């Protein structure tokens, strides 16, 4: 009978080899992590550069449109009723300052390794670039007298701004992530109405005279619609900034109308006053005080 050889005893592991293997494994992991960090930092830097360049493009072309040689083409009739005074365009400056603060906060949050570092800003960067391109197209189209495309671009700018507001707030739950886009978005809503009104009046005047009465009616209706939208946003979403921008813009429209149609200007001021009372008077504390007084008055009435 053949004898079975006993199984070979396991060789004792060499502690020195195990230590070398562990060091090699740790070195590989460290290289992978370092490579990932370098890649993330490069993507972060490119994203921040793209955001700053986008903001710079917006600032330059809006400034050239408002104060420089890229104004609206003289072939476009711009002296319509729903037009704010030129000083209303100063709101662009406030919006751009807030956007610059938001970009600085976004870059600093990623640089210092907070919880927001690991969240992707790719979509925000792309949206900012597209917003800058739409701003460029908007200014150039009005300068060239192409009203339809100018209206399309300003609508796209408005939609993109409100999309940016939602995306930014998901990554930074502070007012600094909301205020820039809420203010700019509200102003772009007003600008969209102004551009639509301007385009319609321009093309109607190409076919004939546009009556002042029709412009007056539509100006009153548009002002009321804007105030209703502001009240709705304040009630449902606690967005007070939209109402403030809408009131500021309608005040500029009313002042413009003082030299054109005083009655319409007075009606718009009344609309603004009613909306401001609804939005900014602290109705809840007042209701609580009234309810408390009523409850305190009931026992006295019962005693009598």
Is 94 domain-assigned?
yes
pLDDT, tens only, 50-61: 999 999 999 999
Contact call for residues 73 and 143 (beta carbons, < 8 A): yes
Is 239 domain-assigned?
no
Is 260 domain-assigned?
no
Is 49 domain-assigned?
yes
Short-list 203, 182, 22, 226, CA closest to 94: 182
pLDDT, tens only, 244-267: 999 999 999 999 999 888 999 999
pLDDT, tens only, 151-202: 999 999 999 999 999 988 888 888 888 999 999 999 999 999 999 988 888 8
CA distances to 244, 276, 277, 285, 288 from 282, in Å = 15, 11, 9, 6, 10
Is 301 domain-assigned?
no
CB atoms within 10 A of CB 134: 21
Contact call for residues 221 and 82 (beta carbons, < 8 A): no
Contact call for residues 147 and 198 (beta carbons, < 8 A): yes
CA distances to 48, 49, 81, 257 from 85, in Å = 35, 35, 11, 9
The model carries a pTM of: 0.78
| CB-count exposure of residue 19 (10 Å: 0-12, 13-18, 19+) | exposed
Q: How many domains does the chain have?
A: 1
Q: How many CA atoms lie within 13 A of 277 on its CB side?
A: 5
Is 193 domain-assigned?
yes
Is 15 domain-assigned?
no
- The reported pLDDT for the residue numbered 34 is 60
Is 126 domain-assigned?
yes
SS3 at position 175: helix
The CA distance from 193 to 258, in Å, is 20
54: containing domain: 41-210
């Amino acid at each position: 009978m053949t004898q079975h050889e006993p199984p070979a005893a396991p060789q004792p592991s060499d502690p020195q080899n195990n230590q070398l293997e562990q060091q090699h494994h740790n070195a590989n992991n460290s290289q992978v992590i370092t490579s990932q960090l370098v890649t993330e930092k490069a993507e972060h830097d490119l994203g921040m550069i793209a955001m700053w360049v986008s903001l710079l493009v917006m600032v330059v072309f809006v400034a050239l449109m408002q104060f420089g040689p890229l104004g609206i083409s003289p072939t476009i009739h711009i002296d319509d009723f729903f037009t704010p005074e030129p000083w209303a365009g100063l709101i662009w400056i406030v919006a751009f300052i807030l956007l610059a603060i938001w970009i600085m906060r976004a870059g600093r949050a990623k640089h210092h390794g907070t919880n927001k570092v690991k969240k992707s800003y790719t979509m925000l960067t792309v949206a900012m670039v597209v917003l800058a391109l739409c701003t460029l197209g908007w200014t150039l189209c009005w300068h060239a007298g192409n009203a339809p495309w100018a209206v399309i671009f300003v609508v796209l700018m408005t939609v993109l701004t409100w999309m940016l507001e939602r995306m930014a707030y998901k990554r930074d739950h502070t007012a600094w992530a909301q205020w820039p886009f809420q203010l700019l978005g509200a102003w772009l809503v007003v600008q969209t109405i102004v551009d639509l009104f301007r385009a319609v009046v321009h093309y109607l005047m190409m076919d004939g005279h546009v009556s002042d009465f029709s412009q007056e009616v539509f100006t009153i209706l548009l002002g009321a619609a804007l105030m209703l939208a502001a009240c709705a946003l304040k009630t449902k979403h606690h967005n007070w900034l939209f109402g403030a921008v809408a009131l500021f813009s309608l005040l500029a429209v009313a002042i413009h109308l003082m030299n054109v149609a005083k009655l319409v200007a007075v009606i718009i001021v009344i609309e603004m006053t009613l909306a401001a009372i609804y939005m900014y008077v602290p109705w809840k504390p007042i209701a609580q005080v009234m309810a408390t007084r009523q409850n305190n008055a009931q026992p006295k009435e019962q005693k009598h």
